Each structure stands twice: as C-alpha cells, then as structure tokens.
Amino acid sequence: MKPRAAAPDTRRLLLVLAIGLFVSGAGLIVIEQSTSAEAQPKDSPVLAAPVTTTTSSVVEPAAAPAPKPVAVPKDPYAAEPIQEIGTIEIPKIGLHHRAFHGITLRNIDKGPSHWPGSAMPGETGNTVWAGHRVTHSHPFRRIHELVPGDQVIFTVAGVRSVYVVTRHEIVTPKAVHIANPTPTPTGTLFACHPPGSAKYRYVVYLALLADG
C-alpha cells in the first residue's frame, strides 16, 4: 500500500518544479528587457523620434573696401613714376588734355593728374584730379566757370566716362576731405585759388552720368 502513496508526492514535486521554472524564465525575460532598455543611449533615435530641422542662410559677399587716396608726400617732387593714362575733356572751357596718374608735381606739371588710391573714372567712389591754373599748361585755369550740368569727360584705358558738375567749393589746402571715398560714382577736380595764389583750393564736384 505504501508504493501507491508516492504518486501524489511525485506529482506535487513536478508541479513545484514547473512553477519554479516558469517563474525563473519570466524573471529572466524581465531582466533581459530591462538591460536592453538601459543599454540604449538617452538621445538615441530608438527612444525618441528624430527631429528634422532645416536651416538655410545666405552669406552676403563682403563688400569691397572703398579706395583710399594715398597720403600726399611732404616733398612735392617726391619720387613717383610718370604715367599717362588717357585724356580729360571739359567742353565748357574748351579743354582737351592728356591725363596722368600721380599726386606729385612730377605728374601734375604735365597735366591733370589722378590721385592714386581714389576711384578710377567710371568706378563706384570718388575719382579725384588735381591740375594747375596758371603754370605749365594751366589746364584748370577756367574751372571756376563750370556750373551744374556742365560735362567732364574722362577716357582711360579706352573707356569713356561722362560726369556732370554738381557744385563747387573753396577750401584751404588742409581740407583733405575733398578726396574722401563716396558710396556712389562721383568726381572731384581741384586747383589752387585764386589764380596765381596757393592760399586756397577751388574744388568742383561731379557725378557720373548714367547714360554717358
């Protein structure tokens, strides 16, 4: 009779083992899932949908620096190459003359001369020109006769640029502001004033004629 009593104990043991295996397996699954989740970086796209942002920017080209006239040397005949660069015409006063490039008398003695560093005729900026009134060929002898609307024509490197007079001014020799760069195409002619004296400067201001 004792052998039969062992059957329920065997079934009970198998049931306990089955429950133990089930609980152990479930615990293993929970542990694996927890470990897998912790292994993901906090900023991983797996945990958060990626945010797509589109940014666009237009980089404006840097503006070119405005031409700056060179400093005037203390010696009016300082070493400077003599450069003939074209012609200048002022119909109102009957002027048609060779044009030079330089700020010393080495060039100005030969004719109206372009101040190096200032804009060239036709360019954006202030093209500045000096000339004599009573010596050498005295090209600017009559610039005081110019009035708004009169034309001044430069031909440099084969390019013709037509300017019109806008106004005039009488300044001292220290008034270097007349050569300041400008944001638009302008021009400046200047010479000693009154004729035969270097006490002042007679200045004529110009603006580029768009359809010249």
Q: What does the pLDDT look like over 144-197, one tens digit per residue?
A: 999 999 999 999 999 999 999 999 999 999 999 999 999 999 999 999 999 999
Q: What is the pLDDT of residue 8?
A: 47
Domain map (residue ranges) of the chain: 84-208
CATH for 84-208 is 2.40.260.10
Q: What is the pLDDT of residue 47?
A: 28
Which residues does residue 190 pair with via DSSP β-bridges, in sequence order? 130, 203
Q: What is the pLDDT of residue 63?
A: 53
Whether 83 contacts 102, CB under 8 Å: yes
CA 149, CA 165: separation in Å to the nearest integer? 5
Whether 182 contacts 168, CB under 8 Å: no
Whether 99 contacts 84, CB under 8 Å: yes
Enumerate residue ranges in the chain where pLDDT < 70: 1-67, 211-212
CA 74, 75, 81, 82 torsion: positive or negative? positive
